[in-house]
Chains A and B, each alone.
Chain A
Amino acid sequence: MTTAGEFITKTRGRGRADWSDIFTYLYLTFGTLLMFVPVLWLVISSFKTPAALVRFPPDLWPYDIQSVEVEGYATPLPLYDVTMEDGSVRRLAQVRRVGLEAQMVDPVQPGEIVRVRIDQRTEVRTLRLALENYTDPLRRFNFLVYLRNSVVVTLAATAITLLINSMAAFALAKYEFRGRQAIFVVIISTLMIPISVILVPVYLVITGIGWNNNLLGVIIPGAATPTGVFLLRQYMLTIPDELLASARIDGASEWRVYWQIVLPLAAPAMAVLAIFSVMWRWNDFLWPLIVLTRSELFTLQVGLAAFQGELNVQWHYVLAMTVLTLLPITLVFAFLQRFITTGIATTGMK
């Protein structure tokens, strides 16, 4: 927060804040709130019990109704603070509610039933994180399977993308061969053709190969990214040819030149592409939605969308699963944020 502090006291060197400094300050404060509050609200809400989630207006923090085990009753009973007729306040457990009247017992002396009007009592609530929102779906639904599928797709696709894109980029940057220009132009001209334009024929190809309901059908089609080839080729052009030539004189094979000289030198560009690929694949939705129809093959995004459709009322699970879905990307960003933002600013791609 020191950065924010420095920012507040910073003026344009004239010693006094003017209207534009005030505007800047207000804009950034408002902007920061607008960007973070929705995500924070999601995270806080994901720790609330179903009962707390339907409260209106909502509480800020995850409160839960305190309950107590009472002798002679099978389930724990909710605790209430009750204002008695004489004005004193007693803490009682509610057995049942009948109309406007509630039947309560004192947890210490469970024998005697006390009848009170319901407007005379208030719930006893304590701060509690409803961790069962997280643990229940992990046990009862396919969530871990979705997670595993997403991890498999993301890692495999990124590895394949990096390998074949860098091989192609190496050839296009460092060799003279017939058809080089043609190949490059064809690849670049499809930079702007998204999969949503060729959904049906790609689906046909996938079906023809037999990759329907197969993670390969999600991994392979998007692996030959034009953006990746382009980015890596431009970067490899800056590697001096003399380095490659001297390695060849030392007897290195072309493959060795590629992986021991060119790849390490292109590491920054490879890292940018890796981050993009992880982002694309982790967040991909439309294509997996079409290829994967069996629920045990769903990726997280498809699973989450299906989950919220089926369990429209079970917000407590949906919210917790959403938090788990955004967690990995958020962690990656927290560690690599400077690298990611500079990488995008300098390459201008997504």
Chain B
Amino acid sequence: MTDSRRVPIAPPAQLPSLPRPGWGDRVSDLFYALFAGVMNVLDVFFAAIQRWIGSRRMAYVFVLPNLLIFGIFVLFPMLLNFYYSLTGGTALFPQSRPFVGLQNFAHLFDCANFLNPNTCREDRFWRGVYNTVFYVVFQVGIMVLVALLTALVLNRTLRSRGFFRSVFFYPVLLSPVVVALIWKWILQRDGLINAALVSLGMERIVFFLNANWAVFWVIFISTWAQMGFYMLILLAGLQSIPSELYEASAMDGAGRLQSFRHITLPLLMPTMLVVTVLALIRAVQVFDQVWVLTGGGPGTATTYVVQYIYETAFAGQIARFGLASAASMVLGIALLLFTLVQLKVGQRSDIGA
């Protein structure tokens, strides 16, 4: 079972049982009849294969469909992406693309001064990189802290925990487009926030014409939308800490802050690391929500790497697939680093637990 170590969170011992609404029984019976019918028909087919190749080799038949789709749409593209990044031109099919070696990477990394995007040939890429780094650091930092605080608060309340847990989780289910539109409406010139500002005697602010405000709201809104997910994982981590430990430390005369520092924090650390890495991986790919909310603006204030890749390959005047692939290689390497950290953390937390 060495493999199970490689994944964020140990598999569940028990999943909750499904709710069974009475009125749905008839509908579910119908679905089951349909399902059983299809499966019985397929049985004729698979039983024939089994007679032909033998029951032991049926395993290959079972993995085949998944592996086929996986290979065609994930593995093969991963290799192809590398080749793409080494070719130029605007053609889509690789056989009509000239091989240019590392030219795309040289183009991307052609900077007089890497700290100043203005000196780069591909300045939009570097702006995207810096914006993404800034976003990742602050969004992940703030969101993990808020999620931790919320989980700690919810861990105190016993009876209403389920209710509030759902309240904080609800925005996680909303699509990025919906989240962006909800807040775009609130933040617009005649929106709710400006009405509040005016009623307090302040000036109206056109938030998305101001780079600092745009960045602030992008981070705020993504925290609002995603925090509940990480809160749930942290809450599960908190609840797995045995209560005897707190009772023992209270008997020894430890205060609440002391038991937080010496029991809660160290025992929650593995979960915190997992949550942080998951949030990092998500944050590096920031795109859709922001794209609908600000379109990357004002200027390039909220243009991130994935938007650069999307626009370079699919939304520009000319389709620069090679450059986009090179940029996504850079993104992929960043994600790979985070994943490696995650694997290390996963192993450490296994030993710690």
Which residues of A approach B to under 8 Å, CB–CB? 3-4, 6-7, 10, 12, 20, 23-24, 27-28, 31-32, 34-36, 38-39, 41-42, 45, 54-58, 163-165, 167-168, 170-172, 175, 177, 180-181, 183-194, 196-205, 207-208, 220-224, 226, 229-231, 234-235, 248, 253-256, 258-260, 267-269, 271-272, 279, 282-283, 285-286, 290, 301, 304-305, 308, 315, 318-319, 322, 325-326, 329-330, 332-333, 335-350
Q: How many A-B residue pairs have CB under 8 A?
A: 345
- Choice from A32, A38, A192, A248 contacting B182 with Cβ under 8 Å: A38
Q: How far is the CA of A146 from the CA of B335 in the complex (A)?
A: 33
What's the minimum C-beta distance from A345 to chain B, rounded to whole angstroms?
Answer: 4
Determine the residue in chain B with the shortest Cβ distance to A198: B77
A201 x B84 contact (CB < 8 A) = yes
B177 x A305 contact (CB < 8 A) = yes
- Please give, as numbers and ranges, the residues of chain B lying within 8 Å of A55 by CB-CB distance: 190
What's the minimum C-beta distance from B49 to chain A, rounded to whole angstroms?
Answer: 9
CB<8 Å pairs between A and B, sample of 26: A12-B156, A27-B153, A28-B157, A35-B171, A35-B228, A167-B62, A175-B62, A177-B56, A185-B3, A192-B339, A196-B309, A201-B76, A224-B67, A268-B15, A282-B175, A283-B174, A290-B310, A301-B176, A338-B16, A338-B166, A339-B18, A342-B15, A344-B169, A345-B232, A347-B9, A348-B8
Determine the residue in chain A with the shortest Cβ distance to B80: A201
- Choice from B72, B149, B233 contacting A345 with Cβ under 8 Å: B233
Q: Does B251 make an interface contact (CB < 8 A)? A: no
Q: Does B347 make an interface contact (CB < 8 A)? A: no
- Please give, as numbers and ranges, the residues of chain A lying within 8 Å of B15 by CB-CB distance: 235, 268-269, 271-272, 342-343, 346-347
Which residues of B approach A to under 8 Å, CB–CB? 3-4, 6-9, 11-12, 14-19, 21, 39, 42-43, 46-47, 50, 55-60, 62-63, 65-67, 69-70, 72-78, 80-81, 84, 92-94, 149-150, 153, 156-160, 162-178, 181-186, 190-192, 194-195, 198-199, 224, 228-229, 232-233, 235-236, 256, 274, 278, 281, 285, 287-288, 291-292, 306, 309-310, 313-314, 321, 324-325, 328, 331-332, 335-336, 338-339, 342
Please give me the 9 A-B residue pairs with the lowest Cβ-Cβ distance, nearest first.
A348-B9, A283-B175, A201-B77, A234-B11, A175-B59, A255-B46, A168-B66, A171-B62, A346-B12
User: With A164-B66, A223-B69, A268-B17 as given contacts, are A35 and B168 in contact (CB-CB < 8 Å)?
Assistant: yes
Q: How far is the CA of A290 from the CA of B166 in the complex (A)?
A: 33
- Please give, as numbers and ranges, the residues of chain A lying within 8 Å of B94 by CB-CB distance: 204
A38 x B183 contact (CB < 8 A) = yes
- Choice from A4, A253, A283, A335 contacting B176 with Cβ under 8 Å: A283
A271 x B18 contact (CB < 8 A) = yes
User: With A24-B153, A171-B63 as given contacts, are A339 and B181 in contact (CB-CB < 8 Å)?
Assistant: no
B233 x A348 contact (CB < 8 A) = yes
Determine the residue in chain A with the shortest Cβ distance to B322: A200
Q: How far is the CA of A35 from the CA of B223 in the complex (A)?
A: 11
B338 x A200 contact (CB < 8 A) = no
What's the minimum C-beta distance from A62 to chain B, rounded to whole angstroms?
Answer: 14
B190 x A45 contact (CB < 8 A) = no
What's the minimum C-beta distance from A156 to chain B, rounded to whole angstroms?
Answer: 13
- Choice from B92, B177, B278 contacting A325 with Cβ under 8 Å: B177
Q: Is the interface of A mostly helix, strand, loop or mixed?
A: helix
- Please give, as numbers and ranges, the residues of chain B lying within 8 Å of A330 by CB-CB distance: 170, 173
- Please give, as numbers and ranges, the residues of chain A lying within 8 Å of B74 by CB-CB distance: 190, 193, 198, 224
User: With A3-B159, A194-B335 as given contacts, are A205 and B76 in contact (CB-CB < 8 Å)?
Assistant: yes
A229 x B66 contact (CB < 8 A) = yes
- Please give, as numbers and ranges, the residues of chain B lying within 8 Å of A342 by CB-CB distance: 15-16
- Please give, as numbers and ranges, the residues of chain B lying within 8 Å of A168 by CB-CB distance: 62-63, 65-67
A304 x B181 contact (CB < 8 A) = yes
Q: How far is the CA of A93 from the CA of B16 in the complex (A)?
A: 63
User: With A193-B74, A283-B175 as given contacts, are A183 and B63 in contact (CB-CB < 8 Å)?
Assistant: yes
- Choice from B72, B182, B195, B332 contacting A58 with Cβ under 8 Å: B195
B165 x A341 contact (CB < 8 A) = yes
B190 x A58 contact (CB < 8 A) = yes
Q: How far is the CA of A301 from the CA of B175 in the complex (A)?
A: 8
B285 x A32 contact (CB < 8 A) = no
B59 x A177 contact (CB < 8 A) = yes
Interface centre among B14, B66, B184 (most CB of A within 10 A): B66
What's the minimum C-beta distance from B319 to chain A, rounded to whole angstroms?
Answer: 9
Q: How far is the CA of A345 from the CA of B39 in the complex (A)?
A: 32
Q: How far is the CA of A350 from the CA of B339 in the complex (A)?
A: 16
A177 x B57 contact (CB < 8 A) = yes
What's the minimum C-beta distance from B353 to chain A, rounded to whole angstroms?
Answer: 14
Interface centre among B43, B75, B186 (most CB of A within 10 A): B43
What's the minimum C-beta distance from B315 to chain A, rounded to whole angstroms?
Answer: 9
A187 x B306 contact (CB < 8 A) = no
- Please give, as numbers and ranges, the residues of chain A lying within 8 Å of B75 by CB-CB distance: 186, 190
Determine the residue in chain A with the shortest Cβ distance to B330: A197
A198 x B72 contact (CB < 8 A) = no
Q: How far is the CA of A49 from the CA of B154 in the complex (A)?
A: 40
A341 x B80 contact (CB < 8 A) = no
Interface centre among A4, A168, A290 (most CB of B within 10 A): A168
19 extra A-B contacts, CB within 8 A, seeds A203-B313, A205-B76: A7-B159, A31-B168, A35-B224, A41-B182, A163-B65, A164-B69, A188-B6, A189-B6, A196-B309, A221-B73, A224-B66, A235-B12, A267-B18, A301-B177, A301-B178, A326-B175, A336-B19, A341-B162, A344-B229
